[in-house]
Amino acid sequence: MSYSITEPTSRQKWFAGTLVILYAVITMIPLLWIMMTSFKTPPDSISYPPKVFYTPSLEGYVNLFTTRTRVSPETLASLPPPENFAEEIVRGRDMVIAGPSKFGGRFLNSVIIGFGSTFLSIFLGTLAAYAFSRFKIPLADDLLFFILSTRMMPPIAVAIPIFLMYRKLGLSDTHLGMILLYTAVNISLAVWLLKGFIDEIPREYEEAALIDGYTRFQAFYKVVLPQAATGIASTAIFCLIFAWNEYAFAVLLTSGTAQTAPPFIPTIIGVGGLDWPAIAAGATLFLLPVMIFTVMLRKHLLRGITFGAVRK
């Protein structure tokens, strides 16, 4: 083994490792607390001192997916025995399940709008990025800068005219409206990132294909796209995460049919105050996919963040 003077000593490594792990553990506490709270009963969630050890319960999840009404003890006694665990938990609080809550629908909206806008951003973004990378486009640099500068607008500033425009076009509170809006926001970053990835693919491949009789479009489709697949995938994840997490436009432009989960989750209210386990359950279901994604795809994601920023 060769000796390097720039390699840190093992004591330095140990010291650095301890501090970083300490920071990571502190960082995780709020996230762990969300997940822990989602498995508490409402009284456990607001006990003092905060409970670290408790009997786990699914009450938060049951409350998240149902609406409930309070009934008198007599009515409760006259009911047939509970059919499932959800019913049992709810009856334990002198209530019956009245129906499903809106959470399922809001979550589905997040999925539809998130994937829809990601697909559209990537589809349009890849085409534009390829053109910017390979062809001479007049004022290309200005156009690219202009595309990026649109991200400097505060979302609320954009929301005023969008609100008026959507009201006229009948796009307010629709999936299509939100998909188009998120695509417009995401596409600048998508084009920018994708152009970087496509720039890295040698032109010679396409040229060889063109000589072999492919049309330009075939060369793009059959040669460039497969090569850019990793770059496209990591760009897609960024677009998806943005659309998934977005709040400002969602809260201003949607209220019912197309409302996504982020504006909905904070409005979950239980009987007599905020139902923190239900909120935590909603937050857990909403945040967990992103966390798992991040850990699984960490190499591409972390590279994508620095790559995207440093290239600008």
Partner 1 sequence: MTIDRLASATPVRVARKIKGLSDRAIAWIFVGPTIFLLLAINIFPLIWTINLSFTNYKANRINREVKYIGLRNYERILGDSDIWLSMQATAHFLFWTLFFQVLLGFALAWLINRKFRGNDLWTTIIVLPMMLSPAVVGNFWTFLYQPQIGLFNYIIAFFTGADPSSFEMLGSVDLAPWSIVIVDTWMWTPFVMLICLAGLRSIPDYIYEAAEIDRASKLRQFFTITIPMVLPFLMLAVLFRGIENFKMFDLVVQLTGGGPGSVTEMASINLKREAFEKWRTGYSSAFAIILFVTVFGLASIYVKALNKVKER
The residue type at 60: G
CA angle 188, 259, 257 (to 5 degrees): 120
The interface with partner 1 within residues 70-89 (CB under 8 A) comprises none
Asked if 258 is part of the footprint of partner 1 (rule: CB under 8 A), the reply reads no
Q: How many residues in the shown chain lie near partner 1 by CB under 8 A?
A: 111
Torsion sign, CA atoms 93, 31, 297, 22: negative
The 213-252 contact track toward partner 1, x by CB under 8 A, reads xxxxxx----------------------x--xxxxx--xx
Asked if 1 is part of the footprint of partner 1 (rule: CB under 8 A), the reply reads no
Asked if 196 is part of the footprint of partner 1 (rule: CB under 8 A), the reply reads no
67 - beta bridge partners?
A: 99
> 147: which 2 tokens?
């595309």
* Of residues 29 and 77, the one with the C-beta less far from partner 1: 29
> 23: which 2 tokens?
């920071």
Residue 229 CB, shortest distance to partner 1, in Å, is: 18
> 302: which 2 tokens?
């972390």
From the list 103, 157, 111, the residue with the least C-alpha distance to 266 is 103
* Of residues 97 and 251, the one with the C-beta less far from partner 1: 251
43 - beta bridge partners?
A: none
Q: Which stretch binds partner 1 (CB under 8 A): 66-74, 93-101, 152-160, 221-229?
A: 152-160
Contacts of 67 (CB under 8 A, 6+ apart): 97, 98, 99, 100, 101
The interface with partner 1 within residues 28-47 (CB under 8 A) comprises 28-31, 33-34, 37, 45-47
The interface with partner 1 within residues 154-173 (CB under 8 A) comprises 154-165
> 203: which 2 tokens?
């032109």
Residue 232 CB, shortest distance to partner 1, in Å, is: 15
Residue 266 CB, shortest distance to partner 1, in Å, is: 4
- Which residue of 50, 100, 104, 170 would you call a contact of partner 1, by CB under 8 A? 50
- Which residue of 76, 256, 269, 298 would you call a contact of partner 1, by CB under 8 A? 298
> 164: which 2 tokens?
């008026």
**Residues 115 and 122: beta-carbon distance below 8 Å:** no
